[in-house]
């Protein structure tokens, strides 16, 4: 193409999900009431008949999960956001009438935020209790909220690349492939801690030796956990997350002048997402390692494009994708599973220079058993997965293209 083409729009994601506890049978719904916007913009300029320059901005990876702060999984995370914005300058060159190639850089801007509650029963008991004694051993109930942690990094950057090729085998059949490299984002953020009332009043003859009727919050205040140099003082936090590389190959078949059929195979190298190491700045705060152990995934995408008239185009599609998370790491952060996705869309050619496309997509994720607490060394998924996660989503997209 020659001259300028600019395309912009957004996809609004409306996720829905719940967790059903095995023991109580209680179902807790996600708090994701708001639609999450994921914008995109592309600008293309045809320099010559064979050379094209372009830049795109889009979000191929990200998550947003929000649960009630009374949910059993709040100690893993109840309000979590992970954003990645790819800014991708690219050059494409047509080698001959059959083969075109392209390559470019990916400047990635990422942010992360995890909000979680802290469990008082896991804290060290004060003297004269023997070293290594926890407050749970002194009778504090398991999963007693006493503090809220906010782990966040506003924005960080990384650099990757992309490579593509398209081969026009015949006048009706084309093949294509694209590889997107992995990108490691090094986060240098903050960890902020805030006290939360336990709501517990201690009885007589309690293990802390305080009078009956004493609020447990007063005992917690006496432990001096939040002052400078203490384990829960506000401090710096470092971590790294590797965003996986991916390979897509596909074929397009122009069955008739009006009907185009498409099929893709999509591979994602999720095995690079093995663990998350949280390095706290204070020596008094133990570092943490979150085991993820994701697996590589494959997906299949099928689509049909029907030119109904000079102005109207009708589209439909189907996607199947495997789950990346193993059974032992299905958590409130991202209770991910294999998915069937169904899509439909309409395109309208408003004029010779302006086109409007709208689409709807339904994501039907298979239910998965998962956990609501951290897994201890040696534990299996059968031991820690105590409920069923149910997830689905509605997506609404709009794109305007101007030539």
Report the C-alpha gap between 156 and 245 in whole angstroms: 18
The candidate with the shortest Cα–Cα distance to 260, out of 172, 357, 344, 345, is 172
Kindly give, in sequence order, each residue whose CB lies less than 8 Å from that of residue 87, ignoring residues fewer than 6 positions away.
55, 56, 57, 106, 107, 108, 109
Longest pairwise C-alpha distance within the chain: 88
CB count, 10 Å around CB of 67?
26
Q: Residue 7: what pLDDT?
A: 97
CB 60 within 8 A of CB 84: yes
E strands in 169-210: 173-180, 183-195
CA distances from 47 to 155, 168, 325 (A): 34, 22, 44
Would you call 403 exposed, middle or buried from its count of C-beta atoms within 10 A (0-12, 13-18, 19+)?
middle
CB count, 10 Å around CB of 205?
7
Strand partners, 253: 173, 261
Q: In the structure, what pLDDT confidence band is assigned to residue 195 with cuts at 50, 70 and 90? A: very high
Strand partners, 364: 340, 392
Would you call 229 exposed, middle or buried from its count of C-beta atoms within 10 A (0-12, 13-18, 19+)?
exposed
Instruction: For residue 332, give both structure tokens.
Output: 């409130």
Q: Residue 356: what pLDDT?
A: 98
Q: Residue 302: what pLDDT?
A: 98
Task: Decide: helix, strand or coil at residue 329.
Answer: helix
Assign domain 3-402 to its CATH architecture: Beta Barrel (2.40)
**What digits encode the pLDDT tens for the residues 326-385?**
998 999 988 999 999 999 999 999 999 999 999 999 999 999 999 998 887 788 888 899
Report the C-alpha gap between 10 and 188 in whole angstroms: 29
pTM of the model: 0.89
Kindly give, in sequence order, each residue whose CB lies less than 8 Å from that of residue 378, ignoring residues fewer than 6 positions away.
none
Q: 3-state DSSP: the chain helix, strand, coil percent, rounded to 5?
A: 5, 60, 35
**What digits encode the pLDDT tens for the residues 262-308?**
999 999 999 999 988 999 999 989 898 888 899 999 999 999 999 99
Q: Phi then psi for 242, rounded to 5 degrees? A: -95, 120
Q: Residue 63: what pLDDT?
A: 86
Strand partners, 118: 147
Q: Where are the chain's structural domains?
A: 3-402
Q: In the structure, what pLDDT confidence band is assigned to residue 58 with cuts at 50, 70 and 90? A: very high
Residue 229 pLDDT > 90 = no
Mean local confidence (pLDDT), 154-171: 95
Euclidean distance between the first and final Cα of the chain, in Å? 10
Strand partners, 198: none
Q: In the structure, what pLDDT confidence band is assigned to residue 245 with cuts at 50, 70 and 90? A: very high
Report the C-alpha gap between 253 and 249 in whole angstroms: 14
Residue identified by tokens 């893993």 is 76
Residue 261 pLDDT > 90 = yes
CB count, 10 Å around CB of 230?
15
Under DSSP, the state recorded for 271 is G
Which conformational region is residue 283 in: left (phi greater than 0), alpha (psi within -120 to 50 degrees), or beta? alpha
Q: Residue 257: what pLDDT?
A: 95
Average pLDDT, the chain: 93
Would you call 4 exposed, middle or buried from its count of C-beta atoms within 10 A (0-12, 13-18, 19+)?
exposed
Residue identified by tokens 């059959």 is 98
**What digits encode the pLDDT tens for the residues 96-140?**
999 999 999 999 999 999 999 999 998 888 777 888 888 888 889
Task: Decide: helix, strand or coil at residue 221.
Answer: helix
Task: Decide: helix, strand or coil at residue 294.
Answer: coil
């Amino acid at each position: 193409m020659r001259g300028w083409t600019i395309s912009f729009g957004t996809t609004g994601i409306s996720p829905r999900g719940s967790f059903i506890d095995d023991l109580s049978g209680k179902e807790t719904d996600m708090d994701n009431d708001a639609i999450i916007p994921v914008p995109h913009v592309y600008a293309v300029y045809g320099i010559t008949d064979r050379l094209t320059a372009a830049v795109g901005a889009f979000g191929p990876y990200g998550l947003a999960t929000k649960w009630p702060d009374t949910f059993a999984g709040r100690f893993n995370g109840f309000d979590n956001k992970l954003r990645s914005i790819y800014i991708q300058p690219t050059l494409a060159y047509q080698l001959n009438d059959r083969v075109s190639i392209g390559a470019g850089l990916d400047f990635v801007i990422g942010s992360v935020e995890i909000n979680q509650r802290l469990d008082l029963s896991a804290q060290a008991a004060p003297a004269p209790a023997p070293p290594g004694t926890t407050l749970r051993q002194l009778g504090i109930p398991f999963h007693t909220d006493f503090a809220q942690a906010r782990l966040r990094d506003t924005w960080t950057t990384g650099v990757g690349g992309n490579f593509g090729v398209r081969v026009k085998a015949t006048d009706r059949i084309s093949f294509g492939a694209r590889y997107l490299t992995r990108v490691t984002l090094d986060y240098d953020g903050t960890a902020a801690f805030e006290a939360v009332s336990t709501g517990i009043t201690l009885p007589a003859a309690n293990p802390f030796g305080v009078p009956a009727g004493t609020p447990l919050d007063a005992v917690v205040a006496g432990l001096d956990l939040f002052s400078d140099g203490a384990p829960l003082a506000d401090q710096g936090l470092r971590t790294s997350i590797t965003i996986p590389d991916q390979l897509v190959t596909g074929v397009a078949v122009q069955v008739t002048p009006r009907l185009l059929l498409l099929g893709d195979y999509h591979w994602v190298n999720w095995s690079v997402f093995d663990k998350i190491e949280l390095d706290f700045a204070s020596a008094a705060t133990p570092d943490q390692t979150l085991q993820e152990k994701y697996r590589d995934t494959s997906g299949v995408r099928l689509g049909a494009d029907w030119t109904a008239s000079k102005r109207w185009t009708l589209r439909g599609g189907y996607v199947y994708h495997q789950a990346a998370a193993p059974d032992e790491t299905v958590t409130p952060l991202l209770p991910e599973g294999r998915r069937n996705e169904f899509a439909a869309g309409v395109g309208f050619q408003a004029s010779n220079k302006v086109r409007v496309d709208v689409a709807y997509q339904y994501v039907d994720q298979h239910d998965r058993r998962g956990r609501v607490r951290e897994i201890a060394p040696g534990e299996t998924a059968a031991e820690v997965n105590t409920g069923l996660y149910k997830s689905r989503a509605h997506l609404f997209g709009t794109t305007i293209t101007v030539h």
